[in-house]
Structure 1
Amino acid sequence: MVVYKLTYFNIMGRAELTRVMFAQAGVEYEDVRLTFEEWGKLKPSSVFGQLPMLEIDGVQYCQTPAINSYLSKKFGFSGKTEEERMRVEMIGFCIHDMAMKIPHMEKDEKKKKEGFERAFKEDVPPLLQKLEAILKQNKNGDGYFVDELSSADMAWMLMADYFEIKCPDLLKAVPKLAALAKKVAEEPKIIAHKKSRPNTEVYLLFPIITMVVYKLTYFNIMGRAELTRVMFAQAGVKYEDVRLTPEEWGKMKPSSVFGQLPMLEVDGVQYCQSPAINSYLSKKFGFSGKTEEERMRVEMIGFCIHDMAMKIPYMEKDEQKRKEGFERAFKEEIPPLLQKIEALLKQNKNGDGYFVGELSSADMGWMLMADYFKLKCPDLLKAVPKLAALAKKVAAEPKISAWIKSRPKTEM
């Protein structure tokens, strides 16, 4: 009997999809809702200083995408095949991206009003059209995103609930999506959850044995596609590595699944969102651990490495702000995160192994992050010798070493 404990604030926010899945699965869990003062006291002892946090038999996990991916698979809400699972995750991340178009956190009232208008009139409608087109690929839009109810359907229901409050006209243009949201909301266990849950602020809703043909499309840089390429190399699986110029992408973009790169095609079917792509390939190639708990750990660490990378202001155009941002990231923000990641590594063979029992996508993701630190701020790695040794060990894997030597010399 697994004991689950979910900790978050007393709002819907990033924990609501998790709560809905627990409700639909009929699985008991402790729903802990903290005040900000209570979280301030608990934060130093939490795994990464982040909420939501899911505890499984006393072991802490964070990162909403990792938690929801784990529960989705555990409860049977992620499709029946690996391709369906990637489709479910792709849609989930695209719904998250849609939510991110809405400036919930903007403090300037004028900018907030303008941002909401722009989101509801310009940014969100084309994404909804694309989402409805994907829904129509299954039973002409009268079913779910895949054959059975999935976490993607539940996430869409929550997003639609928000639109009904803030901008109901959005749903009139996508009747199939509107009908899907209504159908999911009428599931008896979900109805019961909605009736019994605390009446709180909505806030941010999220923040086969065949010869498969793979085609990866991105720009001629490492960027968001490099972990995918490294996994293909380590797995020894052939794929077409398409590298576009910005001009070529401009022509291709309107016909792509969500107007985003990187894009992975599997037997001609397009998928985007690098977290969904990497999660799919990690499982497909055996780089995601052996148990569901190991898989969640791998994804948690991967997302935390991504969060660390986001502390670095790569895209800042103001040179003074860029310089200050890099200094702040390398001196203040990243060092404590590295200490936490090294502490996680030390839980396995005192830090002399991998993040889980065998080489995983988390180890490869860390190797790439460490390569960047070696170029930009090598002193960072001196404070985490176990992590530095892990990066070196992963880079020495024969297939990865061969890839590093043969790949195009491009901007990191």
Structure 2
Amino acid sequence: MRRYLFISGVAALFVAEIIALIVFACVTTETRQDAVAVNEVAQTVAVDFADMRNHKNKTSLDYTVIDADGNVVYRTRSGLSETLTEAIAHRDTIIDAEVNGETVGKIIIYNTSSSAAVARRRAVIIFIAVAVVAQLGLCAAYFYYVRRTIVKPFYGLKGFAERVAGGNLDIPLEMDRQNVFGAFTESFDLMRSELKKARIAEARANASKKELVAKLSHDIKTPIASIKAVAEVGAAQSSDDRDCERYARITEKADLVNALVSNLFTATLEELDKLTVSPADIDSADLVALIQNADYKRRAALPEIPSVMVVADKLRLQQVFDNVFANSYKYADTPVSLTAELRDGRLNIAAEDEGGGVAAEELPRLKEKFMRGGNCAGIDGAGLGLYISDRFMTEMHGALIIENGDRGLRVTVSLATSGANLRNN
């Protein structure tokens, strides 16, 4: 509807401009003198010619009266033609001033065609200028509308796609269902939701697999240990070399089976270590956009971040901040206090919620794979966010510090500054 109004408005202004130009081009600029007024001027001048100082103009015409010698004896105002040459050049009307049938001078009636043309030209110019300004205003308004309803949502989709590609499925896509692409963006968010469900199901399956493998490992290792113990006892009690060799072979195979079971247990945990991290020098001013993107509910006030170069991978650091704020939203759902300080060659960004924190005995284990706190009952999650974030920070020569603060859980993202000694980190 708005698009049709814009197009109709611009088309109407364009047609009005064309009509104004046609009228200006076709209407003649010549104006005819009023014959009655001209005749009245001739008669009054003839009556008053002997004493033109007392002559009064009784018409709307401007004119000059000159005598037979070319001297000006009367004029209605200044700026009028005063000689026949000027009158001819200006295309004024020239008539004889007659007294008793004798020509005693000339009456030069001012031609107003040029003034009228100037007035018409000015009116057309003003009209076209107003129309152009109105068109520019409509175009600016439509540009703003297109930017707000089309361009900006697509920029949002760009950041959303980067997060999904990075594996972050917790932050919803902000959308306005009233704009042109409302249903389109809603479909993308539905895709994110379904991917998240699939990811949670996959994590649960992996957790179940881990638990199953752990149980099987225990169940298998127990009889293997018994077999190995019996073989060792038999080897110790036997005096036959061939029997001792057989017992040694049994012990060797038991150790092999035990190693294979251990490898099977650890193989289920290796897939998360395949995410690549490429740290580089970035300006700390870039952290503002990353934090704002992560804090999509606007729960935290941005602190003043010291100006410094830090070592980080923007994509992975965005995932770290996303996980920090997503956990705060999910488990605390309170305002978040942000602080930023430069200390010992590191830029520390700390986020503290007001949820009361977690049990002290749980703190050291929160960064373990599949580990979740005691306050997560009934809340979706796989227990991988802080584990992955901690690995990312380690790969970026930084650290992820989790501790209980004064009001809730405090998570500090510690970034190494450019030029710091990274070998010790």
Normalised by the length of structure 2, the TM-score is 0.19
Larger RCO: 1 or 2 (CA < 8 Å, sep 6+): 1
Higher strand share: 2
Normalised by the length of structure 1, the TM-score is 0.19
